[in-house]
Structure 1
Amino acid sequence: MLLLTHPALARTRLLSAADWDLVAAFHARCSEQNLLRRWGRTHLTPRDLTRLLTQSLCWIGLDADERPLALVCVGPVSGESGVVDLGLQVADDHHRQGLGTALALQAAGIARTGGVHTLTAYTQASNAPMLRLMERLGPSRRTRDGPHVEVRVALDALASDPRPSSGAASP
């Protein structure tokens, strides 16, 4: 379990394939745009979750009523030693409240403790929220790939107290 302090979260816990109903409930709280931005499509299956979990560690953030608020995953990228990709999705009604930043910081900290030196995110170039989040984690490097961009953050420079962009509450 992640040790995380954020007012919206009661707890976080590791996700397993048996949690499909919880993931489906989470995705039901997300708009099509949110799902497209995170997954590249609007519908996921239990098989998709199983494949993700064979390659990544995933956590789900729950509120006091055990409703899912966020999903975060870290997993290896194309065989590069010491490099993991960050996957993050927050329920629409909890955007811009610092929840994604708090979860990303925790995931990055756990990855760094496990010997990872670089955190990446591959996202649409128009995904301004994810690009801002990665910049808040620390100095980043962007590489454009058509309509997408890869952002890399060196975890040795991980910000311990990132400053939120204007309009976002701090974690």
Structure 2
Amino acid sequence: MALWRIRATVDDRPGYLSVLTASLALRSVNILAVQVHTTEEGAVDDFLVDAPDTMVETDLMAAVLKGRGRDAFVARAEAQGLADQPTRALALAGRLVHEPDSLGDVLESLLDATEVRWRPQGSTDLPGFHGGRMVLTDPAGGSYEVLRALPAFTPAEYARAQALVEVAGTVQRQHREQVGMLLPDGTELVLRPAAQDDAAAVAEMHGDCSAATLHHRYLGGPVPDESRLRRMLEPTGGVTLLATAPGGRVVAVASLTAEGDLGEATVLVEDGWQRRGLGTALLRRLHTWAERSGLAAVTAHTGADNVAMLRTLRRLGADRFERDGALISVTIPAAGRPVGDETPATSG
């Protein structure tokens, strides 16, 4: 028996796929995997099959035509094709997380492409696909052109490829935004943007914080559960930064959420890492992010007894302090932007 890949278009009507599979079965062709791609021309059926050694390409092509398939493509396949395409795409996405510069090789592997070219910004090509040519938008600027002879690309393949390009762009951006921080005692930390897969490490860090530290961060409210922590790691319109110690353990987390032209900053530093300049460094980076994003000001809410936090906010340029009982709302203007009489956002 030998592995083959078969792709053919059939009318997207009840029973037509079964006619094609029956035609293959009559010739002792065993279907190992199948995917159906919906297109304007009909349903594109993509098979991985095990066929008798005596069968050749023309035999399989004849079986497809007998089963009412058209625009057929038949080629020998490798054992790696036994993995279905979604599983294959997930494995390639995992590779990109560790090797974002391997995007060209990843696209070639995903799409069985003959060539992948990056084109600089300014190209007149619009994103999309036609036949064996695909153009993908690079979030960092420019585009990728992907070529193969046969078969023609499908909408599902285009969507998977564009998703992988965006994964690579996100990882590369995080690497660029990652910086080192040297503490006075010589300990080197890494400050970087958070991602969804940091949720477990951030939850573990919360568990290592004292009740007093958590009280200052959440102002007496409940510590967030896992689902809320995940939302905090990638806030809409904002950013979350982590500080990691040698070995990758998370020791501090700071977030900026934006509403209108105001951003609200929060910071949590594990007890053993406090009073070492870590919270100040994270808040300063959040403030810089707010300036780059065009926000007018950054607000923070803290308890009146949190002297260390208030001192840090003053050093960062806070110019307005509003007290409401035991709660103080602090405003730090962004450089070059006027601050109106907006009411600071309520702590969530």
1:112 touches 1:155 (CA, 8 Å); kept in 2?
yes
C-alpha change, 1:139 and 1:45, in structure 2 (3 Å) is closer
Q: Structure 1, residues 8-27: CA drift from partner, whole Å, max 9, x if none?
A: 44312222333221111211
How far the C-alpha of 1:41 sits from its partner, in A, is: 3.9
Deviation at 1:114, TM superposition (A): 1.0
Q: Which letter maps to 2:262? A: V
Q: Taking structure 1 as reference, are residues 83 and 9 closer, same or farther at Cα in structure 2, changes over 3 Å only?
A: farther
Q: How many residues align?
A: 154
The separation in 1 between residues aligned to 2:256 and 2:211, in whole angstroms, is 23
Give the match for residue 152 of structure 2.
none
AA matched with 2:239 = L
User: For the structure 1 residues 106 and 54, does the alpha-carbon distance in structure 2 shift closer, same or farther, using more than 3 Å as the test?
Assistant: closer
Equivalence for 1:61: 243
Summarize the alignment of residues 26-45 of structure 1 with structure 2, pairs less than 5 Å apart: 26-39=205-218, 40-41=220-221, 43-45=223-225
Cα deviation, 1:107-135, whole Å, max 9, x if unaligned, reads 11111111112111011121111111110
Sort the Cα spacing of 1:106 and 1:2 in 2 relative to 1 into closer, same or farther, 3 A.
farther
Superposed counterparts of 1:1-171, under 5 Å: 1-7=177-183, 8-39=187-218, 40-41=220-221, 43-52=223-232, 53-55=234-236, 56-76=238-258, 79=259, 81-156=260-335
Distance 1:3 1:114, change over 3 A: farther
In the aligned structure 2, how far is the partner of 1:5 from the partner of 1:66? 14
- Separation in structure 2 between the aligned mates of residue 92 and residue 143 of structure 1, nearest angstrom: 27
Normalised by the size of structure 2, how large is the TM-score? Answer: 0.41
* More divergent stretch after superposition (135-144 vs 37-46): 37-46
Q: Conserved in 1, the CA contact under 8 Å of 2:241 and 2:282?
A: no
Report the TM-score when normalising by structure 1.
0.80
Find the residue that maps to 1:135 and give its secondary structure.
Answer: helix
Q: Compute the displacement of 1:49 (Å).
A: 1.1
Bigger radius of gyration among the two: 2
Q: CA deviation at 1:156?
A: 1.4
Percent of aligned positions with the same letter in both sequences?
27
Structure 1 portions without partners, runs of 5+: 158-171
Q: State whether residues 203 and 229 of structure 2, in contact with CA within 8 Å, keep that contact through their aligned partners in structure 1.
A: no
d(CA) in 1 for partners of 2:287, 2:313: 11
Letter of the aligned partner of 1:58 in structure 2? Answer: T
Question: 5+ unaligned residues in a row in structure 2: which ranges?
Answer: 1-176, 337-348
